[in-house]
Structure 1
Amino acid sequence: MQRILMAAALLVGTASAADLRIYPSFTEVREPVRATGTTLTVTLPEAAWAGLIPGTLDLDGLNFTSAVQRQEANWLASLEGKTVYLRGEDGTQEPVTLVRARDLLVRDAQGRYRTARYEDLAFDVAPPLNPLSPSQTLTFTLPGPGTGTLSYLTRAVTWSPRYTLKASATGAQLSALADIRNGTDLAYDVRSTELYAGDVNVQGGPPLPAPVAFESRATAADALGNAAPKINTLGELRGLYRYALSAPFTLPANSVVTLPFLTPKLTAFERYAGLNTYFTPQNSSGTLSRFYRLKADERLPGGPLTVREEGRIVGQTTISETAKGAEVEFSLGDDPDVRFERAVQTNVNQRNAQGNPVRTTYRVTYTFENGKDRPVRAEVTERVGGRRVSIDGVARGQNPAAELRVDIPANGKVTRSFVLVVDNS
């Protein structure tokens, strides 16, 4: 993941243990470092630097007097002036001298120069991952030796929840998975992980594209001896939802690690056919939509939701951040079996001096028709514009909503009406 070079000694180790604080669009990486002298040099591969948010590299617990960043040459630069092998059109390989790694300029035995392709080159030693990519170094000048924490923000690691609502004739269950994405060629050995959900904005450009999604829970479990970590709720932090993984795990390069997340209990669940619209004096007709309404006994971070009825997918939507016990309501599209006819009768009660209506009474009548062999609950909400509005004789103030709630019998019809008085005087 990172190679730490301390003082004059070159100490290159394997991936170091790190703490990750993962947010929906970025991650804070925190890694312990130790300086044995007055210089600490951190080397980041180009893959890590590409996702790093500028201006976020910091050294916590170690005071420093200056920090210098520079780009180092790639691995091929170490072979300049040395012999490599170039594959010809006939498949044979001839020894050539690598003159310049930047553009792969080589010189053959006859002293002629040409530019090669990397895939046509062969080497006496195994090349590292991404041999053409340079690395970035950040050298801190310190007053003395000590230990601290290197931290930075990266767009390359993110997480998101995704929900499944399984509904049946007897009720519904809601469950969630957490997808932790690593969009780099670097593997992270994660010592401690916290997940945060909520609205957190940082500067530094758009998120990186996510890697091709696949579930790598088996990879994480294998690294832990089939003891994948669990996600525990830590409560609220200044409006953010906070969670923690129960054990260390490995986040492979270019991967999506998926772990079981929430299994909240639903304290309320309803299906209904609905229509949300704005009042108009024109007649209309159409179909109602398939609506769901639920409440959960836990906070729900925002994420995509897949709905299954009797084991089959009936739609997908996205829910926003939802507090414990707050109502979640969404539509999954039209229900062609539940139709409505809407008729409006208009009576102008008062006009102004120019003859324009200022106080008007409307009688709105809905006729609902259910083509199913079971009863259906229907709900209609019409938002009404006007300075003063009354609905069915009750003053409702400015811009209220008229509502109808009705049960439609199987293969039956139901008619309901409401009366609006709109006063714009």
Structure 2
Amino acid sequence: MNRILTLALVAALGSASAADLRIYPSFSEVREPVRATGNTLSVTLPEAAWAGLIPGTLDLEGLAFSSAVQRQEANWLASLEGKTVFLKRGEEAAQPVTLIRARDLLVRDAQGRYLTARYEDLSFDVPPPVNPLSPVQTLTFTLPQPGAATLSYLTRAVTWAPRYTLKAGTGGAQLSALADIRNGTDLAYDVKNTELYAGDVEVQGGPPPAPAALEGRVTSTAAADFAAPKINPQGELRGLYRYALSTPFTLPASSVVTLPFLAPKLTQFERYAGLNTYFTPQNTSGTLSRFYRLKADERLPGGAITVREEGRIVGQTTISETAKGVEIEFSLGSDPDVRYTRAVQTVSSERNAQGNVVKTTYRVTYAFESSKDRAVRAEVTEIVGGRRVIIDAAPARQNQAQAELRVDVPAGGKATRSFTVVVDNSNS
């Protein structure tokens, strides 16, 4: 089992205990307990760990240090310089050669000639490590005194995200969620304590690295060597949603571990054909969109949501962070079976002394037509702008108003609804 950190003390070699992970949507905090028996502590990280590390986030907590020096060490092949390795060229048997320079794989053959080899043509008497061509980074702390501490750093290589499935049918709907924990490096993590955080958390250090190709997805049912951890809510932390895994687990290299997450109860669920638009005095027509509206009995972190109707996928979108009991509304694309025709009539207009129109009254009529074999709810929302707006004789807030229509369109039938808009841009 790979360790995420290999810790070497100057006095003697030490072993790393299991790490703790605090995983956010776009980064993670890795925390590892360390102990120095002398006045120097050297921490060696593989290059894969440094690739995702956010600069300036390495820290040693609980133990003062007078300086910290980071440097890049040579790769494994450098330890073989001046020694015999074996080179295979074409169909010939592998021949012993001397590795002269590991940086560019310069070798010398038995005739004393120098040539540059390819790594895949070399073989060795000892087994090479993973990524033998990758250098390692060493961070050396100078300490006033020995003791125990926690080494921590932030990495973009480990993240998590929830994904939801909404299963709807004639008997109602159910919402469930899974949590995907992603490891984009070739390092395996042995995790003792894991916390998941959902919310808007920004850290410095530039954009995340390009995602690594994942070898496969590891689900909780595939891990036969340990009990699958459960994700338990831990409450709110300054606007963040916090969760914890119930048991230690292994996050394999280049993997996605998927665990059951939430199973909230829906306190509201509606389907409807909808249109959200802005007011225009022009006539328009088109099709409505397939909308869903729901509320859950617990807070929901933002993530992708897949909707299934009668077991079939009908669309996918994303939802944002939502507090308990707050309405979620989203569209899954157009519904060609529900069409509308919008007609606008100018009822009256008023002009000022300069002849400019300053107040206009419109009559807006929506005619809906459905070819479905069942009744469908149609909802239209129009945003109307103006200095003063009145909709159906009710004054709206200044500068912007919202007109709403709600109508049940019968199966294979039609329905019509109208509203009146007064746009007053006068100075009176």
Q: TM-score, normalised by structure 2?
A: 0.96
- Cα distance in structure 2, aligned partners of 1:396 and 1:373: 38
Equivalences for residues 12-411 of structure 1 within 5 A: 13=15, 16-212=17-213, 214-218=216-220, 221-224=223-226, 227-398=227-398, 399-411=400-412
Aligned identity (percent) is 78
Partner of 1:167: helix, strand, or coil? strand
Work out whether residues 211 and 256 of structure 1, in 8 Å CA contact, stay in contact via their aligned partners in 2.
no
1:106–1:174 Cα change, 3 Å: same
The code of the aligned residue for 2:7 comes to I
- Cα distance in structure 1, aligned partners of 2:222 and 2:183: 13
Displacement, 1:207? 1.3
Work out whether residues 307 and 316 of structure 1, in 8 Å CA contact, stay in contact via their aligned partners in 2.
yes
- Cα distance in structure 2, aligned partners of 1:27 and 1:297: 28
**Which residue pairs with 2:12 in the alignment?**
9
Per-residue CA deviations over 1:171-221 (Å, capped at 9, x if unaligned) read: 100000000000111100000000000000001121123344543025762
Per-residue CA deviations over 1:274-332 (Å, capped at 9, x if unaligned) read: 00000111111111000000000111101110000000000000000001111100000
- Cα distance in structure 1, aligned partners of 2:5 and 2:251: 14
Work out whether residues 387 and 397 of structure 1, in 8 Å CA contact, stay in contact via their aligned partners in 2.
no
What's the Cα RMSD here? 1.2
- Cα distance in structure 2, aligned partners of 1:135 and 1:220: 32
- Cα distance in structure 2, aligned partners of 1:10 and 1:17: 16
Work out whether residues 220 and 257 of structure 1, in 8 Å CA contact, stay in contact via their aligned partners in 2.
no
Unaligned runs of 5+ in 2: none
The code of the aligned residue for 1:221 comes to A
1:203–1:219 Cα change, 3 Å: farther
Per-residue CA deviations over 1:126-166 (Å, capped at 9, x if unaligned) read: 00000000000000111121111110001110000000000
Partner of 1:222: helix, strand, or coil? coil
Work out whether residues 371 and 411 of structure 1, in 8 Å CA contact, stay in contact via their aligned partners in 2.
yes
Work out whether residues 2 and 16 of structure 1, in 8 Å CA contact, stay in contact via their aligned partners in 2.
no
Q: TM-score, normalised by structure 1?
A: 0.97
Partner of 2:386: helix, strand, or coil? coil
- Cα distance in structure 1, aligned partners of 2:220 and 2:201: 31
Work out whether residues 211 and 255 of structure 1, in 8 Å CA contact, stay in contact via their aligned partners in 2.
no
Unaligned runs of 5+ in 1: none
The code of the aligned residue for 2:253 comes to A
Range with bigger deviation, 370-379 or 392-401: 392-401
Work out whether residues 360 and 423 of structure 2, in 8 Å CA contact, stay in contact via their aligned partners in 1.
yes
The code of the aligned residue for 2:225 comes to A
Work out whether residues 11 and 37 of structure 2, in 8 Å CA contact, stay in contact via their aligned partners in 1.
no
Work out whether residues 220 and 258 of structure 2, in 8 Å CA contact, stay in contact via their aligned partners in 1.
no
- Cα distance in structure 2, aligned partners of 1:339 and 1:274: 10
Displacement, 1:394? 1.2
Work out whether residues 21 and 28 of structure 1, in 8 Å CA contact, stay in contact via their aligned partners in 2.
yes
Work out whether residues 81 and 98 of structure 1, in 8 Å CA contact, stay in contact via their aligned partners in 2.
yes
Equivalent residue pairs, number:
421
- Cα distance in structure 1, aligned partners of 2:408 and 2:176: 30
- Cα distance in structure 2, aligned partners of 1:91 and 1:366: 82
Work out whether residues 183 and 209 of structure 1, in 8 Å CA contact, stay in contact via their aligned partners in 2.
no
Range with bigger deviation, 231-240 or 393-402: 393-402
Per-residue CA deviations over 1:90-130 (Å, capped at 9, x if unaligned) read: 24111000000000000001110000000000000000000
1:85–1:253 Cα change, 3 Å: same
The code of the aligned residue for 1:170 comes to G
